[in-house]
Amino acid sequence: MGSDGQKKDHATELIGLVSPLVLPDSKTAYPDSRFVIFGVPYDGTSSYRKGSRFTPNRIREAYDNLESFDPYYKTTYAESSICDLGNIFPSEDAEENIDTVETITSFLRKDEKIPIMIGGEHSITVGAVRTFSDSYMIIIDAHADFRAEYMGNKYNHACVTRRSLEILGRNRITSVGTRSVSKEEFESPEYSKVRFVTADYVRENGIKQVIDELKNEIHGRKIYFSIDMDGIDPAFAPGVGTPEPYGLLHTDVRELIRAFSKETVGFDIVEISPLYDNGNTVMLAAKFIQDFIGSNSIN
């Protein structure tokens, strides 16, 4: 409620959906914030290495080791209007968690906030895509994640790009870093409706060309940006649920964040498994959050 008693926000409803563990630079009260962080500690459909349910708090702990000031962006993050709502209380059911994410991101959008969601597994992204269904989607991912269903569940983490296509429609998703696709996915008549940019293509042509191509494809539309950390080569991000060799450079992803942050209306980082991490993966994810906020704020 604003000071004049007229402006309403959704702080009260949101408090009932999350727990109070926060990022160190979260210094702004919800009504005055611009960036709103929340964690989704869920890995119920993870198919190889579980553990992403521990990630939101591990990223917060890693973030605590980063400087609050960044000379590249000339940004002090503690002054960047960040509010961290904490973690949701997850259900065992993937679809229920997707519904909760949709509820939270819908409140945030109505309140003119930019959500930063920390997973958890990639299935949760579907809830945010529902909220930002008028946006273009950029995904960083080693896998196509284009199965109609997996292990009998159409909301499995291996289906997120397929579910997102059903929401957004053809030619509104680009997935960067692809290097693992099943025959079933590849032969699907729907597969060509998403642009899959392989890690080999990025390596051969350079990330700047990929950025230029994306800008021509997006045509100034707003963007939902989802980072599955397995899109990055395991040399830089070893602690992921489904590692895949020959991935993107961490600096490739940073350049994509910098290029599109100002058009990005929602952002997530998913699929880290701290149980298999040496600390590098959660630290890199924490830095990506800073890169997103810093490059979004820079003049």
pTM of the model: 0.91
Q: Kindly state whether residue 219 falls inside one of the protein's structural domains.
A: yes
Q: Kindly state whether residue 24 falls inside one of the protein's structural domains.
A: yes
pLDDT tens for the 299 residues of the chain, in order: 334 445 567 876 766 666 567 899 999 999 999 999 999 999 888 888 888 999 999 999 999 999 999 999 999 999 999 999 999 999 999 999 999 999 999 999 999 999 999 999 999 999 999 999 999 999 999 999 999 887 778 888 889 999 999 999 999 999 999 999 999 999 999 999 999 999 999 999 999 999 999 999 998 899 999 999 999 999 999 999 999 999 999 999 999 999 999 999 999 999 999 999 999 999 999 999 999 999 998 76
Task: Report how many domains make up the chain.
Answer: 1
The CATH number for 145's domain is 3.40.800.10
Q: Kindly state whether residue 2 falls inside one of the protein's structural domains.
A: no
Q: Kindly state whether residue 181 falls inside one of the protein's structural domains.
A: yes
Structure tokens at 64: 């605590």
Q: Kindly state whether residue 235 falls inside one of the protein's structural domains.
A: yes
Q: Kindly state whether residue 1 falls inside one of the protein's structural domains.
A: no
Q: Kindly state whether residue 3 falls inside one of the protein's structural domains.
A: no
> Domain residues for 178?
11-297
Q: Kindly state whether residue 30 falls inside one of the protein's structural domains.
A: yes
